[in-house]
Structure 1
């Protein structure tokens, strides 16, 4: 991720403030203009009082400027907040859409907790840059305008001030360097803590049962000292520039006022000019407001960089081709997928006949779930390609592919408010009859009907067992089933009777689909038309269960010691 990407994202986010950002510019200009005019008008009022001039007019002008400052400041706060809210909303929608478009690659590259941290906290910081950018620019106007005003009053005042300006510039440069380093470390560690917390929440039952709550709390919060160090670094940068500014700025003010006093004594300037000069020199040297905006912008730039890192990950590209009528024939051509320790699948070639029930078996780590993921582009091969009815999956449109290939997973996540929503999730307009029918096919109808509100029962408020969740997930897969249905070890939490019933559905109502079933059960493999036995990164054997059973190595894949609950060899859940 380059700094340019962060800057572009920052500007794009700010532009989403739309007309409200424009109003922020207008109100900021009004505030700046009124602020610059006020010292001059106050000086004129003082001269009028001392000389017996038109005092009422200048005092009235002073009051009007003060009223404008108060009123416009209130409006500026309002339009600034609206602009920031619009920018943050756009940024969160964009980032969330990109993360979802990445699919399973998102959580392989970034941890879920870190993604949440970037989506929630980092997006808010970056979105707040809308008004920050305006005020960084507007914050430079008062000092520049004040320097010009000093020159108009007396050029010696301007020259005296400019002689001390290099010190102010050096202070600002050092501050930006220190604060940027501190912010980058702070938000990085913050993301690490969020990632560990999400992991702990995902395993809360195990943590509680193992009586490791205190140890897990220490693990989650272990980066706190580093977070504190970066936080203190930021405050230290602010404190250093405040202390140095408190030394440099008063010296500049005293020097300019000394020259102004000399000019007053010599008759070059009036008492009103003296008053105005005392205000303008403070305005010209006042770096506090600029530094506050710069600090906000530095934080936004850092968080924009973290968001740009995610946005830099390219999502899966889809084509525009459509599938002709076909049986659901899958072909894997010389497929290679690299894992962390080498290839999981290497130069694998395989044809899955259309309409066949195919069982994929093998020891843990053989790549069964990965092969299942490749069948519907939940993962892409590093080399080779996968075709469905003669069309490479990469050329298919997203909707076309998702309608053609449906999935059921070992640990289904039930999405939606109710159980009816969870079963119909992903289907454009599922009818109530279809939802009930597929729930019955998955043997989920009976226990759902016994819930207090039946299919309208809330998923989050109704405790169900792992086997019941599995059946609801199967009902969803059955409802979505296109020409290919992929079931990734869905029988893991099912009892023998239910597993047998599901097998009857696969060989009966769904017999016209291509069905790929990842399994650890010999009984499931025995019912398949074809068994694909994976080992050593490729297909070790291919045939019926009866024919393969003669090989003792094949029989060993079903022994109890090789029956893990999940196959995590790079596959997507």
Structure 2
């Protein structure tokens, strides 16, 4: 079974009891439609024999019609509920998988493309149960009509079989072509969404450069491709409709011609001929499946895109508890290959518990990759990373996330209030939240907000530096053993950065700190410095020792040959920020 078909089958199961109600309604309605020609034919024969209109066959006709109407109403209701439930559950699964995979997922799929797959494509898959049930239900009157014609007259059945073969071939080609075209159409939609998401992230730059028109053209560049695929879908529908439009009338004419011949020879009654005509129409009802087959094709194409997310391996976690310790971080022969980017190779060092280590190096040397590995936002291709002697994959998810706190250059603040953004879903008392904010130099500006820590994030406009301080507070509140700070102070002014840096490179409750550093003061205050170059550790040790190397000094000096600032000297000297 294809991955897309497995996703469709899953959507049917996730409909629960409503999927059963949907199937019963469409099957019941199809059976009643199949029964109606027989009942009406018997009523016509009874009327021809002189029976009154009030005989039982006409009452049966009324009951069958009422049943068909009831089945239609239930089918529409059940189809809507099933689609909503299936799409909703699928979205929850996809969101959990994407967020659980973290940066690994966004490295493969663009953010806008992910939104399209989780939103629009999941909605298309949610329509699959209705399309499947309706398509399957069309087989009942087709098969039933064929059987009925065999019972009435085998010659009529032969005429119907010939037409059904042609209709089946048309439907098969239509499903194949439409699935492929719908997949291309949805991929073009995802491309536009991805481009637009990129533009929204850089909207200030676009506005400042005055390139809105140019950017709009870039975002909408896939529109001709989208239009071409849309036209292909329209042509596929039109072509299949024309083919069916030619086959079905011809089929009905042939069945009626054969029936008229049999009527003239005395082998059929008028009622049987009417019933035969109705059964021929029902038998050819597979042609009405084009709309449902088209919907099923779009669902299968969307399921292909959804399956790509579900096929991404989930991050596995162990069950080994952390022993007592202060957060000793160890890299043993770690390597990571990133296609198109500088990776890491042979990374080996240890940061003793409770100490601070600054990661330095030129742009692209692998600092952020190493920071991601330190708290298992990514896994190495080779080697292992340990926290207090335990390899990170062996730790339970909850324990790992309690032990490690992250702060980033552009933190996303999540939650209803400022306090919620710091606590981020964990039960914390006010004292813990305020202490973390104070260590991140955020307490003062938070208390000035209208509602203090209870201020809604939407009502708390903040500068980039203030957002960074809340991100730092969140990391401090969450990381009980290890803090990983990836360029987390770049937006702070010099005074605040010095205050925050002093807290981060001090004891900070005995926690280990791994800091991606760009400023010399951070390296100067750290217990040790890890110098990365081309994805490898060139050297590590105290700042004073590394400073003797001209290559290390060049990391903090302007490109022109100028005297080094006083702060570049041994620990404790005074000077600028570098």
Aligned residue in 1 for 2:126: 127
Q: Of the candidates 45, 52, 55, which is equivalent to residue 53 of structure 2?
A: 55
Worse-matched range after superposition: 45-54 or 521-530: 45-54
Aligned residue in 1 for 2:563: none
Aligned residue in 2 for 1:529: 527
Report SS of the residue matched to 2:485: strand
Distance in 1, matches of 2:494 and 2:479, equals: 23
Distance in 2, matches of 1:59 and 1:490, equals: 81
Aligned residue in 1 for 2:557: 559
Report SS of the residue matched to 1:53: coil
Q: How far is the alpha carbon of 1:343 from its aligned partner?
A: 5.2
554 and 418 in structure 1: CA distance in 2 versus 1, 3 angstrom threshold: same
Report SS of the residue matched to 2:377: coil
Aligned residue in 2 for 1:264: 263
**Are the counterparts in 1 of residues 366 and 534 from structure 2 also a CA contact under 8 Å?**
no
Aligned residue in 1 for 2:157: 158
Q: How far is the alpha carbon of 1:412 from its aligned partner?
A: 0.8
Report SS of the residue matched to 2:322: coil
Q: How far is the alpha carbon of 1:320 from its aligned partner?
A: 0.9
Q: Of the candidates 489, 493, 496, which is equivalent to residue 494 of structure 2?
A: 496
> Residue deviations 1:304-355, cap 9 Å, x none?
1111111111122111101110121111111111122475221121111111
Distance in 1, matches of 2:518 and 2:469, equals: 18
Aligned residue in 2 for 1:296: 295
**Are the counterparts in 2 of residues 337 and 343 from structure 1 also a CA contact under 8 Å?**
no
> Highest relative contact order (Cα 8 Å, sep 6+), 1 or 2?
1
Distance in 1, matches of 2:546 and 2:507, equals: 27
Distance in 1, matches of 2:288 and 2:459, equals: 50
Distance in 2, matches of 1:164 and 1:546, equals: 89
Distance in 2, matches of 1:163 and 1:85, equals: 40
Q: Do residues 207 (structure 1) and 206 (structure 2) align? A: yes
Q: How far is the alpha carbon of 1:119 from its aligned partner?
A: 0.2
CA RMSD of aligned residues (A): 1.6
Q: Do residues 112 (structure 1) and 89 (structure 2) align? A: no
Structure 1: 5+ residue runs without aligned partners? 563-573
Q: How far is the alpha carbon of 1:465 from its aligned partner?
A: 0.7
Q: Of the candidates 434, 437, 449, which is equivalent to residue 435 of structure 2?
A: 437
Aligned residue in 1 for 2:282: 283
Distance in 2, matches of 1:280 and 1:162, equals: 12
Report SS of the residue matched to 1:71: helix
Distance in 1, matches of 2:439 and 2:347, equals: 34
**Are the counterparts in 1 of residues 342 and 366 from structure 2 also a CA contact under 8 Å?**
no
Q: How far is the alpha carbon of 1:265 from its aligned partner?
A: 1.7
**Are the counterparts in 2 of residues 200 and 216 from structure 1 also a CA contact under 8 Å?**
yes
Report SS of the residue matched to 1:531: strand
**Are the counterparts in 2 of residues 417 and 459 from structure 1 also a CA contact under 8 Å?**
yes
Q: Of the candidates 17, 22, 25, which is equivalent to residue 15 of structure 2?
A: 17
> Residue deviations 1:99-148, cap 9 Å, x none?
11111101001111111000001101111111222122111111111111
> Residue deviations 1:465-500, cap 9 Å, x none?
100101111111111121111111112111111111
Report SS of the residue matched to 2:320: coil
Q: How far is the alpha carbon of 1:504 from its aligned partner?
A: 2.6
> Residue deviations 1:137-173, cap 9 Å, x none?
1111111111111122222111222233322222112
Structure 2: 5+ residue runs without aligned partners? 561-578
Aligned residue in 2 for 1:136: 135
**Are the counterparts in 1 of residues 167 and 287 from structure 2 also a CA contact under 8 Å?**
no
Report SS of the residue matched to 1:347: strand
Distance in 2, matches of 1:219 and 1:343, equals: 28
**Are the counterparts in 2 of residues 157 and 256 from structure 1 also a CA contact under 8 Å?**
yes
Q: How far is the alpha carbon of 1:47 from its aligned partner?
A: 1.5
Worse-matched range after superposition: 459-468 or 369-378: 459-468
Distance in 1, matches of 2:501 and 2:369, equals: 22
**Are the counterparts in 1 of residues 188 and 222 from structure 2 also a CA contact under 8 Å?**
yes
Q: Do residues 382 (structure 1) and 399 (structure 2) align? A: no
Q: Of the candidates 29, 32, 35, which is equivalent to residue 34 of structure 1?
A: 32
Distance in 2, matches of 1:202 and 1:245, equals: 49
Worse-matched range after superposition: 50-59 or 416-425: 50-59
Distance in 2, matches of 1:289 and 1:24, equals: 19
**Are the counterparts in 2 of residues 140 and 290 from structure 1 also a CA contact under 8 Å?**
no
Worse-matched range after superposition: 437-446 or 205-214: 437-446
TM-score (norm 2): 0.94
**Are the counterparts in 1 of residues 138 and 285 from structure 2 also a CA contact under 8 Å?**
no
Worse-matched range after superposition: 355-364 or 281-290: 281-290
> Residue deviations 1:349-386, cap 9 Å, x none?
11111111111111111111111111111111111111
Report SS of the residue matched to 1:176: helix
Aligned residue in 1 for 2:573: none
**Are the counterparts in 1 of residues 44 and 271 from structure 2 also a CA contact under 8 Å?**
yes
Runs of 4+ in 1 over 3 A off after TM superposition: none
Report SS of the residue matched to 2:432: helix
User: How do residues 229-244 of structure 1 correspond to structure 2 at under 5 angstroms?
Assistant: 229-244=228-243
User: How do residues 392-407 of structure 1 correspond to structure 2 at under 5 angstroms?
Assistant: 392-407=391-406
Distance in 1, matches of 2:41 and 2:559, equals: 91
